[in-house]
Amino acid sequence: MCGIVGYAGKEDCVDLLIDGLQKLEYRGYDSAGIAVIQNSHIEVKKTKGRLADLVDKMETEGRLKGCCGIGHTRWATHGEPSDINSHPHGNERISIVHNGIIENYREIKEFLIEHGYSFESETDTETVLKLLDYYYKGDPIDAIAHVVKEIRGSYALGILFMDFPDRIFAVRKDSPLIIGIGENGNFIASDVPAILKYTRNYYLLEQNEIATLTEKGVDICDIHKNPVKKEIQVADWDLDAAEKGGYEHFMLKEINEQPTSIRTTISPRISDGMPYLEESGMTKEMLKSYSRIYIVACGTAMHAGLIGKYVIEKLAGIEVTVDIASEFRYRNPLITDKDLVILISQSGETADTLAALKLAKEKGATTMSIVNVKGASIARESDIVIYTHAGPEISVASTKAYAVQLSVMYLLAFELAYAKGAITKEECMRLTKELQNVPDKIQDILVLKERCQFIASRLVNAESLLYIGRGLDYALSMEGSLKLKEISYIHSESYAAGELKHGTISLVTEDMPVIAVATQSDLFEKTVSNIKEVKARGAKVTMICREGTVDDKAVANHLVTLPDMDDIMMPMLALVPMQYIAYYTAVLKGCDVDKPRNLAKSVTVE
C-alpha cells in the first residue's frame, strides 16, 4: 500500500527514484511522483496514473535533476487518485511522501486551520506536511519528533527540508521502511527490491526511530535524539528475482518459480528425512504442549491456513481454528497461554494480521509467524518465525507465496503429528519424502498450460463461476476462486460441493461454468455426484482430478488431470491449474494481470 523511495548521494537521483518506484509499483499504482532538490529549490513532478505516466510527463515538461530526492507510488486511501492528491506533498521548504494512514488527521487539520494553514488536497498526508511546517524552527529532528508525538496511526515518511539540501529524513511506525546503505549514497525504501540494484546492505528502522541520510552516511536516533546503533542486514534475494526475466507477466514467472521456491523453503527444514523446525525455536516439547491452534491471516495466506487446518487435524489430531485476521482482532477470541497462534503473511506487514498477532500476545499465547519478507514487522514481533523462501513476489495476485506457505503447513503438521505420537517415525519420513517429491511433480504439471489456456478460452465470457470441492479440495477451491476474481474481474464463488443443494444450486444454469476439484479419494464419488447434479442443470464443468480416475466427457466437459500423490499432498499439485486458469482468463480478457484494479500488495491499512 504505497511505495516510498528516497536517495541522498553523489549521483543524479531521478532515474534511481523511477527505477525504485518501478520495483515498488506492486504496492500501489494509482498515482506517482518525485521531489528532488534542484538549484536550491524543491522541485516536484507528480501525476495521477501509473509510473509510466509520470515518466511521460517528465519527457513533455522537462526532467528533474538533483542528488537528493524522494518518490512515491500511491494506493489511494484519503482522496481519489488525482494530481493534487498524489505525493509528494510540499511547500517551498518541506516535501514529504507517506505510506500509511493518519487516524487523527481531522483534528490536526482543524488545529492547523485555526493557526492559519490552508489545504489543497483531501489527503491525511498533507496534515503531516503542515504539522511539520508548524513545528519546524530550524531543526528537522525536533520537528519530526514533535509530529510523531501528535499523529496517530501508521506511517512511513520520507522528508526533504530545503534548509538541508544534501539530506533526506525518514521515520516509520507500523508501515515498513528500510534504509539502504550504498557506496555513493544512501536510500530509503518500502521494500528490498527497490534498492537491490544498488546495494544488498540495509538497516531496519524500528518504530519512531528517525533516520538522517546523506551521501556520506546514515544517522539514526530516537525521538529524544539519542543515537541508535544498528546491525546491518544483508538481502539474500537475487536481483533477477525482481525482474520479469522474459515472462509476459510476473504472475506467470512466479507460477513457474514454484518448484524452486518450495525446494528452497523445505530443504533447510528437513534433516535425516524428518521435518526439522527447531532452528526457528519451536522445540518438540513445545509442539507437544499445545492443546489448540489458531491460524490467523488474510486472503490467500488465510487460504493456506485452511489447508493447514485439514492436514494438522487429520494427522496430529489437534483442534485448529482458522480466522480472517480482520474478524479475529475484533471478536474477542478465547485464546489462552496454552494455545499456539500461527500468523501467515507473505509481506509480513498486513495491518490486520499484525494487530491479530499483538492481540494473541496480549492473551499470552505462543505466536509463530510464517513470513516471506525478512525482517518484516510480523516476523519481528512474533515469538517464533519460520521464513518462507519464495523470493520477492511482485505480482499482486499471490501464487508462489501460497505454495511455500502450504509447504510449511505440511512440515509443521508432520512434525506436530510425530511429536504428539499420532504418527510413527516411518510414516513421518514417508510423508516428508512425499513433500520433497512435490517440486518435481509441479514441474511436470507446469506443461499443462495449454490445456488451461483452452479452458480459459471457455470461461472468458462468463459473468459468474462456481468452484466446488470437498475437504481439502474445497479449501483449495477457495484460493482458485479468489485468484480468478481478483485478476479477471469475473465473479466467482467457492462452495462446499455437498452444500450446493441447500440453496446455491438454484444459481446453476448453462451460463454458469463450474470448476470442480476432486482429488481426494475418500470423497471422490461424492464429489462426482455433485458434479453430475450441476451438469444435469446445464453447467459446463471443468474437473481437476488425478489421472485415470474418470472417463473424459462422462463426468465433466473438460478435464485437467494430475499425477498421483498421497491424498493430503494433492492440493499442492491442483493449485497449478487453478492459477493457470485464472491467469489465462485474465490475459484473454486483456486485464492488467500483475496490477489488478483497486488492489495493491502489502495491505498496511485496516
Known catalytic residues are 2, 601
CA distance 251 to 244: 9
- The count of residues interacting with ligand F6R (CB under 6 A) is 15
Q: Is residue 298 part of the contact set for ligand F6R (CB under 6 A)?
A: yes
Q: In the bound complex, what is the minimum distance in angstroms from residue 19's beta carbon to ligand F6R?
A: 23
CA distance 209 to 476: 42
Q: In the bound complex, what is the minimum distance in angstroms from residue 453's beta carbon to ligand F6R?
A: 20
CA dihedral 544, 545, 551, 557 (to 10 degrees): -10
The helix (run of H) or strand (run of E) holding residue 97 is strand 94-102
Longest dimension (CA), the chain: 79
Residues in region 584-603 near ligand F6R by CB under 6 A:
602-603
Q: Is residue 350 part of the contact set for ligand F6R (CB under 6 A)?
A: yes
Query: DSSP states of 357-387 as a string?
Result: HHHHHHTT-EEEEEESSTT-HHHHHSSEEEE
Choose the binding region for ligand F6R from 134-142, 169-177, 280-288, 344-352 (rule: CB under 6 A): 344-352
Choose the binding region for ligand F6R from 33-41, 124-132, 293-301, 549-557 (rule: CB under 6 A): 293-301
Q: Is residue 353 part of the contact set for ligand F6R (CB under 6 A)?
A: yes
* CB-nearer residue toward ligand F6R: 429 or 487: 487
Q: Is residue 299 part of the contact set for ligand F6R (CB under 6 A)?
A: yes
Q: How many CB atoms lie within 10 A of CB 324?
A: 17
Q: In the bound complex, what is the minimum distance in angstroms from residue 393's beta carbon to ligand F6R?
A: 8
Q: Estimate the crossing angle of helix 400-419 against helix 258-266, to 10 degrees.
A: 30
CA distance 467 to 500: 11
CA distance 99 to 4: 7
Q: Is residue 192 part of the contact set for ligand F6R (CB under 6 A)?
A: no
- List 86, 398, 494, 519, residue binding ligand F6R (CB under 6 A): 398
* CB-nearer residue toward ligand F6R: 136 or 402: 402
Q: Is residue 22 part of the contact set for ligand F6R (CB under 6 A)?
A: no
* CB-nearer residue toward ligand F6R: 195 or 487: 487
Q: Are 227 and 220 in contact (CB under 8 A)?
A: yes
Of 361, 356, 305, 306, residue with least CA distance to 326: 356
* CB-nearer residue toward ligand F6R: 126 or 349: 349
Q: In the bound complex, what is the minimum distance in angstroms from residue 578's beta carbon to ligand F6R?
A: 12
Q: In the bound complex, what is the minimum distance in angstroms from residue 401's beta carbon to ligand F6R?
A: 6
CA dihedral 533, 534, 536, 537 (to 10 degrees): 130
- List 156, 194, 235, 301, residue binding ligand F6R (CB under 6 A): 301
Beta strand residue intervals within 260-398, DSSP E = 270-271, 274-275, 292-297, 319-324, 340-345, 366-371, 384-387
* CB-nearer residue toward ligand F6R: 24 or 131: 24
Q: In the bound complex, what is the minimum distance in angstroms from residue 554's beta carbon to ligand F6R?
A: 34
Q: Is residue 375 part of the contact set for ligand F6R (CB under 6 A)?
A: no
Q: How many CB atoms lie within 10 A of CB 338?
A: 12
- List 22, 346, 369, 519, residue binding ligand F6R (CB under 6 A): 346
- List 345, 481, 530, 604, residue binding ligand F6R (CB under 6 A): 345
* CB-nearer residue toward ligand F6R: 299 or 392: 299
- List 210, 397, 523, 570, residue binding ligand F6R (CB under 6 A): 397
Of 102, 304, 68, 292, residue with least CA distance to 186: 68
* CB-nearer residue toward ligand F6R: 129 or 397: 397
Of 89, 78, 74, 51, residue with least CA distance to 4: 74
Residues that bind ligand F6R (CB under 6 A): 298-301, 345-347, 350, 353, 397-398, 482, 486, 602-603
